[in-house]
Amino acid sequence: MLDKQEVVVLCILVSYILLIVALFVLILQSLPWSRLNSSRFSYLFLFLTACSFAHTWYYMLGVFTTSYMEYESRVEGDPARSLLKRIAVWLVDTSLFEEAWSKACSGAVNWWWSEQICTYTAGPWTVFLFIQGQRYKIKHLWAYMLLGQLVAISVGSNLFYLAIILSGWQSRTTKSASFYAPPVLSISVLLSLITVANSPFTNADSFLPNLLLMHILLLVPLMFANHGGEYSIRLSVPYRSLHIVLFSFILVLRVKTTLAAIRSTSDSSPLHGFIPFFKSAATVLHSHPAQASLGWDVIWTSMSFVFWTVLHQGVSLAPFSAFFVSAGVVAPWLAASEAELDQMQYVIKHE
């Protein structure tokens, strides 16, 4: 017989699964599937969505099973209990979400992997959702972010790339207000990046609140996004300036984190410590299912970012550098250049 607390944790788990399903349904129903054949690239991002979901959640299911098996072996669970009862007891006694994230963030090399997806999501991807969602009149922008947070950023980003393609690649908004980021966006992403920078310094009590604050802050601007692209310029900053700030902030974080990871794997100089570091990074990637899920989300997200950038801006070496310095660094740099080009084209057109 399940007690009240066990019923609650089972309801939370079921609600989590149902929320993911509901987000998929909401997003997929909002897409204009009649345009699926309008571009062969739509099938590419459908394929990437399926692959990234299957791969990252193969490891996420491993998180559940590993945690359950470790708990059962530790407490020597009563085999006479029903499976449902044993699962409920395990959920009551285990902080599964916090446990998974702490596994992926404890250790310099672990954080080297995890920081990449956090900085990309907190900075350039949130801004990309905000700008492009309004430019191409895509519905439910917040749902893409929430789905990415609950499932994998690679899944949310690939679905969003698909949504842009299915939108018919409408003409970009050329009103001057579209060149400025409203305060709700710039403040939210900068505060969220501060929580990312603070993550390595959190303890058992502050880790989860810091993580939740990061996730909540990223939903705020997307809840207030409109499809008109018209905001008061007062207190707003040019998108190009915001991209440059994001690039600088994230680059500093990546250099700092990479040097810390290299020092943790080798006593030699950073230059000679690269080989031990790369070997350690490859080992850490599969050190735990939670780390593998997050690490492969980084890889799939970077791969999709490269595909999208090449499709959108043409072939160049710049997007491929995301595999070496992270998409979080490369994306705002390329976006700053694109924002400058957009503004120049607007000025020329209206002279």
- Let me know if 172 is exposed, middle or buried by CB neighbors in 10 A (0-12, 13-18, 19+): middle
Q: What is the pLDDT of residue 39?
A: 85
Q: Mean pLDDT of all residues in the chain? A: 88
pTM for the complete prediction? 0.91
Tens-place pLDDT, residues 57-84: 999 999 999 999 888 888 766 665 788 8
Q: How confident is the model at residue 350 (pLDDT cuts 50, 70, 90)?
A: very low
Tens-place pLDDT, residues 219-274: 999 998 765 445 556 678 899 999 999 999 999 999 999 999 999 987 766 667 78
Residue 321: how many other CB atoms lie within 10 Å: 16
Classify 236 in phi/psi space as left (phi over 0), alpha (psi -120 to 50) or beta: beta
Q: What is the pLDDT of residue 340?
A: 67
Tens-place pLDDT, residues 199-219: 988 887 888 899 999 999 999
Buried b or exposed e, range 51-71, using 16+ CB within 10 angstroms: bbbebbbebbeebbebbbeeb
- Lowest-pLDDT choice from 95-104, 122-131, 158-167, 286-295: 95-104
Length, in residues, of the chain: 351
Q: What is the pLDDT of residue 233?
A: 60
Q: How far apart are the first and last CA of the chain?
A: 76
Q: How confident is the model at residue 29 (pLDDT cuts 50, 70, 90)?
A: very high
Residue 163: how many other CB atoms lie within 10 Å: 24
pLDDT at 172 over 50: no
- DSSP structure string for 82-151: -HHHHHHHHHHH--HHHHHHHHHHSSHHHHHHHHHHHHHIIIIIHHHHHHHHHHTT-S-HHHHHHHHHHT
Token pair 């900085």 in the structure block, residue: 119
pLDDT at 24 over 80: yes
- In contact, 239 and 128? CB cutoff 8 Å: no
Distance CA 158, CA 49 (A): 5
Percentage of the chain modeled with pLDDT above 70: 88
Domain residue limits at 324: 4-350
- Total structural domains within the chain: 1
- In contact, 110 and 104? CB cutoff 8 Å: yes
Q: How confident is the model at residue 2 (pLDDT cuts 50, 70, 90)?
A: confident
CA distances from 74 to 69, 71, 88, 92 (A): 8, 5, 16, 15
Q: What is the pLDDT of residue 185?
A: 95
pLDDT at 171 over 50: no
| 312-315 contacts at long range (C-beta below 8 A, 24 or more positions apart) | 313/338
pLDDT at 131 over 50: yes
Q: What is the pLDDT of residue 177?
A: 42
Q: How confident is the model at residue 174 (pLDDT cuts 50, 70, 90)?
A: very low
Cα atoms found within 13 Å of the Cα of residue 120, Cβ hemisphere only: 30
Per-residue pLDDT averaged across 184-191, rounded? 96
